[in-house]
Amino acid sequence: MTRQGRLSSARGTRWVEKYEGKDIIAGYANWFGVDPLCAVMELRMLGMKIDPERENRIKASIETRAAARRRREELHAQAEFDEILTISDDNIAYLAGYIPGGAAYGITLEELEEEVPWFADED
């Protein structure tokens, strides 16, 4: 639903006036499926007075969650990279992929240096 649709619905059903819960911001966000910051803006558009300190706490919470998500993604990426390095023994010339068990397969340096029969001179 678009912002205009949500605002029309809230006005038409008198959602704000009929709300009986403890936290109108969380209630609006849950009912209309928006994030709390969007709920703050739309509730203001509907005539509610929202404490600026509450809005700042919501913004800080969103930023904290985003920073935590970035840290988790970085740690996950680093863990995957470290796992690849521990699997490799610096003997692989070409890593073709991994079998379902996680073992690497490909061509080793020794196999690459061996004479390949189909490239041999045919004199």
Q: What is the pLDDT of residues 84-105, one digit of tens each?
A: 655 556 677 777 888 887 777 7
Contacts of residue 116, Cβ cutoff 8 Å, sequence gap at least 6: none
- Separation of first and last alpha carbons in the chain: 76
Tell me, what's the pLDDT at 97?
A: 82
Mean predicted confidence (pLDDT) in 70-97: 75
The reported pTM is 0.57
What is the percent of the chain with per-residue pLDDT over 90, rounded to a whole number?
Answer: 54
CA 47 to chain centre: 34
Tell me, what's the pLDDT at 20?
A: 92
Tell me, what's the pLDDT at 118?
A: 62
> Considering the chain, what is the average pLDDT of its residues?
84
Mean predicted confidence (pLDDT) in 24-49: 93
Is 58 a residue whose pLDDT tops 70?
yes
Helix axes 36-45, 24-32, angle to 10 degrees: 100
Please tell me the distance from the alpha carbon of residue 92 to that of residue 13, in angstroms, as a whole number.
67
Let me know: does 109 contact 92? Beta carbons within 8 Å: yes
Tell me, what's the pLDDT at 90?
A: 64
